[in-house]
Homo-oligomer: A and B are copies of this chain.
Amino acid sequence: MDRRARASQKRRRLAAAAARVLHQQGVERTTLADIAREADVPVGNVYYYFKTKDELVQAALAEHQAHLDELTDALDRLPTPRDRLRALVEAWVAQRDTAARHGCPTGTLAVELDKRADGTLDAEAGAVIRRLLDWTATQFRQWGLPDPDDHALTLVCAYQGMSLLTNALRDPAIMTREGERLLRWLDSLAPEGE
């Protein structure tokens, strides 16, 4: 592996470390030294890859976006929209322990970034959430249900809500209970005229 490849790998390592540590400690309580340590990179070197702390936050958001895309790509291989949405909910529930400890990575990031006066980064956090919203709406639309956007909104709100409560009450069981309800809800839906 040549120098350039190793360098870009380091960039990724930093982005991944940022995603992890920022999720656990939050943006404001995480120092660059924390991220550097997690990525095993000297502090001064971080600035070779990211000119500011904000760029690291941005990279972490991109990382979450990438994870989400991986997930939806995998789900897209399932036969029906209902299968895909069920699997989405199941993937959420599978993360319940992480959610109990640190909440939804994107959701909590969005909350923190929205506290800033400068609205640059929080718009990017919003974009990640909107992408999930769009993918979900697409599923409902393909399913042939009316008001697919409303259904998508309901589902994603439910996800963010249960993640927040799971985290705030430190109780993964919340995720299980609400997840099961969502599955029953999905099973109860039927396209018009079906």
Judged by a CB distance under 8 angstroms, whether A88 is at the interface is no
CB distance from A159 to the nearest CB of B (A): 7
Chain B residues with Cβ under 8 A from A115's Cβ?
24-26, 29, 102, 108, 112
In angstroms, Cα B30 to Cα A104, docked, is 24
- Interface bits A167-192 vs B (CB < 8 Å: 1, else 0): 11110001001100100000000000
Contact B170 A161, beta carbon cutoff 8 Å: no
Q: Is A160 interfacial (CB-CB < 8 Å)?
A: yes
Q: How far is the CA of A164 from the CA of B158 in the complex (A)?
A: 10
> Contacts A28-B28, A112-B26, A116-B29 hold; do A181 and B164 have CB atoms under 8 A apart?
no
Q: Give the total of A residues in contact with B, Cβ under 8 Å.
A: 44
A37 to B103, CA, bound (A): 33
With both beta carbons as reference points, the residue of chain B lying nearest to A125 in the complex is identified as B168
Closest 7 CB pairs of A and B: A161-B161, A26-B115, A28-B28, A157-B161, A110-B168, A160-B161, A111-B111
> Is there an interface contact between B150 and A156, defined as CB atoms closer than 8 Å?
no
In the complex formed, the residue of B with least CB distance to A129 is: B168
CA distance A110 to B129 in the complex (A): 20
Instruction: Please tell me if A162 contacts chain B, counting CB pairs below 8 Å.
Output: yes
Q: Do B165 and A129 touch across chains, with their CB atoms under 8 A apart?
A: yes
Q: A26-B115, A28-B26, A111-B112 are in contact. Are A154 and B129 (CB under 8 A)?
A: no
A90 interfacial contact with B, CB 8 Å = no
Q: Which residue of B lies closest to A163 (CB)?
A: B161
